[in-house]
Amino acid sequence: MPLISESSYRPPLLLSNGHVQTILPSLFRKVNGVSYARERIATPDGDFVDLDRSLVGSERVAVIAHGLEGDSERAYVRGMVKALNRRGWDGVAWNFRGCSGEPNRRLRSYHSGDTADLEVVLGSVLNGGSYERAALVGFSLGGNVILKYLGERGERVDHRVHAGVAFSVPCDLAAGAFKMALPSNRLYMRRFLRMLHEKIRAKMELFPGEIDDADFDRMRSFKDFDERYTAPLHGFESAEDYWRKASSKPSLNHIAVPTLLVSALNDPFLAVECFPREEAKRSGCFFLETPASGGHVGFVSCNHDGEYWSERRAVNFLENLR
């Protein structure tokens, strides 16, 4: 019964609020000491994704997946890479299609259930080196991709993949979308839509006449965006069809390697359906930890080395599996 009933996370004084934990690191955290080497890999459909590698010459590697409209330069990605490097892990930060600073070549982009691209990325990382063990680490949307991938592959996952860790995951996409549409999340929703609009404008330049942004300013929710763009561009019938097929929650019970999901109870992005307690209770490999505080991809810590609790928690989970 891998339901972790008590978490070790304790927020700093005056930083227990979920919105503060979410916003503060996004705006102000800086992570130095990470040096990337970029590698571009081809996808089977003639597109590409960019990987940013931070290597220490290890036989162990972690592939890190960012959240919606993130990239390898986000502080939470760099912080995780740095923490892994310190413990003797190579780190590979995966930029989703169109998130590495250059538009991708296809009309499609990325989405919450894009496990096919993860298969390509993982194959490139494992087959291009001499790694004996690999782990997958994901945040928010990237965490959903990783959980879904491990659940889909089950016992068939590459034998070198020995663990997964995910933080702040909307594993029930429909419930998460409705939660994000609430007035309390209007500030976040506006920011996401603004960033997504920039991506649509870039696509319009590359594919004139095939995509447009008419009345984009009337959009207010992920329902609006996913119905108009995500679903048709990625082969889904509707937003609801996309949410149902791309959610990781239904496949959690099929995960066959030790996998930890950490989601804070005060995460403003997550609905109650995004805390899969029953799935954890029934699983022998899927662990769920629900700290009272932490916000969305927050888990702020104040210490001399600048590491956040989430980074130490992830590394400790991976190291204790040895």
User: Of residues 7, 54, 140, 283, which has the active-site annotation?
Assistant: 140
The gap between the terminal CA atoms of the chain, to the nearest Å, is: 20
**Which H helix or E strand runs over 202?**
helix 186-206
The C-alpha atoms of residue 191 and residue 225 are separated, in whole angstroms, by 13
Is 158 annotated as catalytic?
no
User: Of residues 248, 267, 283, 293, which has the active-site annotation?
Assistant: 267
Provide the β-strand partners of residue 41.
49
Place of tokens 């109870």: 265
Number of other CB atoms surrounding residue 309 within 10 Å: 20
Is 267 annotated as catalytic?
yes
User: Of residues 66, 111, 234, 296, which has the active-site annotation?
Assistant: 296
CB-CB contact of 289 with 279 (8 Å): no
CA atoms within 13 A on the CB side of 297: 28
Amino acid at 153: R
The set of residues, in sequence order, having a beta carbon less than 8 Å from that of 89 and lying 6+ positions away, is 56, 58, 60, 61, 62, 135, 315, 318
The string of DSSP letters for 218-279 reads G--SHHHHIIIIIHHHTT-SSHHHHHHHH-SGGGGGG--S-EEEE--TT-TT--GGGS-HHH
Instruction: For residue 85, give the nearest of 54, 129, 39, 126 by alpha carbon.
Output: 54
Provide the annotated active-site residues: 140, 267, 296
